[in-house]
Structure 1
Amino acid sequence: MKKVKAGLIAAITATVLAACGSSETKSEEKGETWREIQEEGEIVVATPGTLYPASYYPEDSDKLTGYDVEVMREIGKRLDLEIVFEEMDFDSMFASLTSGRVDVAPAGMREEIKDKYSYSEPYKYSYATMIVREEDVESYDSLEDLEGKVAGGAATTVYSDIAEKFGAELKTYGNVTNDVYLRDVDVGRTDVIINDYYLQRLALESLPQLDVTMHPDLKFHTNNQRAVIEEGAHTFRDKIDGALDEMRKDGTLTELSKEFFGGEDVSQKPEEDIREIEGIE
């Protein structure tokens, strides 16, 4: 992705700036990210390719699509850059961003990493909910009832953090499709999934044969989706934010949202009564 020569120049420049001790100049040096991307003519984006409807392959199709995917493609068009997708599981995204393998990792902002990267403005708003077996709905009056349950999830997501905070045992998965998570709840390998409301609602609609359901009352942890990029790459971030602002104003974000989320506009903040969780950001 990045040229070796460019990386060498950046390393030399960083060394010189460190000797100078100028934080302002160091910040400006990070502006090289945007120039490098322009020279390459592309933005490399990490994506799972297995998460309907954010990033997935439709049945009988080899073309990647989804809300996150098409938002990134539209940003590329407006910045006159090609979008190249690197498929990987969520746990690999930030390591790939740090190493320079990718330029963008679509994700939410988390407390333990928020100072390590730069973030665009949100292009998706949502909140978390729980998927449980239908016969077990009444066993969950609150998040505190997760104590002793087995929760399915990826190892480093905020949803897994929530499950563990309330005493659940975590069963982790790699880069698998949503139906794997849901089938494991159905057959009893796990008890619960904590995840994004909009994603899980659509997943359940596509698998009506499973004896699982979304808890009707438990809504918690507002969250959003952003383009996560290299820390300090302010020019690049501003370019992405500019494209997203145009997409909000001309209705493109709303159109894409309604296309992939069953008519819902996830580009707007939800108006639900949602429980926030202390210690989880």
Structure 2
Amino acid sequence: MRKGFILMFMLVLSLFLAACGSSDEGESSSNSDGGEEASDSKWSEIQEEGEIVVGTSGTLFPASYYPEDSDEMTGYDVEIMREVADRLGLELKFEEYGVDGLLSAINSGRIDAVINDMEVTKDRQEQFSFSDPYKYSYSTMIVRESDLSGIETLEDLEGKTHGGGATTVFSQIAEHFGAETKTYGNVTNDVYLRDVENGNTDFIINDYYLQSLALKALTDIEVKLHPDLKFHPTNSAIVMPKEATKMTEEINAVLQEMRDDGTLTELSKEFFGGKDASKEPEADIREIEGLDL
């Protein structure tokens, strides 16, 4: 069991970096006309078919993935979508796409929605409709256990070396504060962490929940989450066509039911090591000023 758990984490960081770092270029919405008519049409179409088709990657642990030795997809996002479809009285069909192809699949009409830990951004909101958030998170950083890599504030990142992807949100934050990013190919998660431990890099910025899970899986590496730095709050939501107002309303109503009856909390604790990502964190999360993310 532990072997499978660690192997899963060998894919976590690179996959998550790809998900959060993808450019929004080429995602412009094709829905330019129709307004309310298009909104009602999309929901009527789904009801008539009795099925909602949802895009996801199937490769993003713990949101959407296949457990080792299993051919059934699961994850926080996957199980949320299953519950939403069930409460709406709809059959659910998942279509798997690479992260870069998910949003374009909405525009082409191949799918009705996307759920894949998709961050709500200003650019995306101009092109798509989003449900209310089902996950709230923020960024933290992994540093050396012995000295916190000499980092007390984000301003101390100047001159430090960040381990990550070249075009990700996390690298943008690091470079905004004067750090240099060391980029990697398709390496395993432990390579990132050991480079911090041995001083080849100084820190790794990433999602709080994913970093917490990674450290839980790889306890032999002498790194830790920085105890004081919490920044760049994020929300994840279901993505739908821009004009799908009625569909958005229906899904939001079900998500609120799931929040009220504790279903979102239960699912989050199942997939995030007992932590409740369905609620906004109580901690004071620093917004990054002067950087358009």
Q: Is the 8 A contact 1:151 1:168 kept in 2?
A: no
Deviation at 1:241, TM superposition (A): 0.4
Residue 269 of structure 2: aligned partner: 258
Equivalences for residues 126-165 of structure 1 within 5 A: 126-135=137-146, 137-148=148-159, 149-153=161-165, 155=167, 158-165=169-176
Deviation at 1:95, TM superposition (A): 2.8
The code of the aligned residue for 2:70 comes to: S
Question: 2:130 and 2:171 mapped to 1: Cα distance?
Answer: 22
Question: 1:276 and 1:74 mapped to 2: Cα distance?
Answer: 33
Call closer, same or farther: CA 1:136–1:225 in 2, change over 3 Å.
same
- CA RMSD in angstroms comes to 3.0
TM-score, normalized by length of structure 1?
Answer: 0.78
The code of the aligned residue for 1:206 comes to: A
Question: 1:154 and 1:48 mapped to 2: Cα distance?
Answer: 21
Aligned residues: 260
Residue 77 of structure 1: aligned partner: 86
The one of 27, 31, 52 equivalent to 2:61 is 52
Question: 1:44 and 1:136 mapped to 2: Cα distance?
Answer: 49
Call closer, same or farther: CA 1:58–1:231 in 2, change over 3 Å.
same
Q: Alpha-carbon deviations, 1:249-269, whole Å to 9, x = none?
A: 221111111211222222111
- Tell me the SS of whatever aligns to 2:103: helix
The one of 232, 248, 262 equivalent to 1:221 is 232
Deviation at 1:229, TM superposition (A): 1.2
Residue 271 of structure 1: aligned partner: 282
Equivalences for residues 179-194 of structure 1 within 5 A: 182=193, 185=196, 191-194=202-205
Question: 2:68 and 2:215 mapped to 1: Cα distance?
Answer: 17
Gaps of 5+ in 2: 1-29
Gaps of 5+ in 1: 1-10, 18-24
Question: 1:101 and 1:136 mapped to 2: Cα distance?
Answer: 51
Question: 1:132 and 1:198 mapped to 2: Cα distance?
Answer: 16
The one of 99, 106, 114 equivalent to 1:104 is 114
Residue 4 of structure 1: aligned partner: none
TM-score, normalized by length of structure 2?
Answer: 0.76
Q: Is the 8 A contact 1:52 1:178 kept in 2?
A: no
Q: Percent identity?
A: 58
Call closer, same or farther: CA 1:170–1:89 in 2, change over 3 Å.
farther
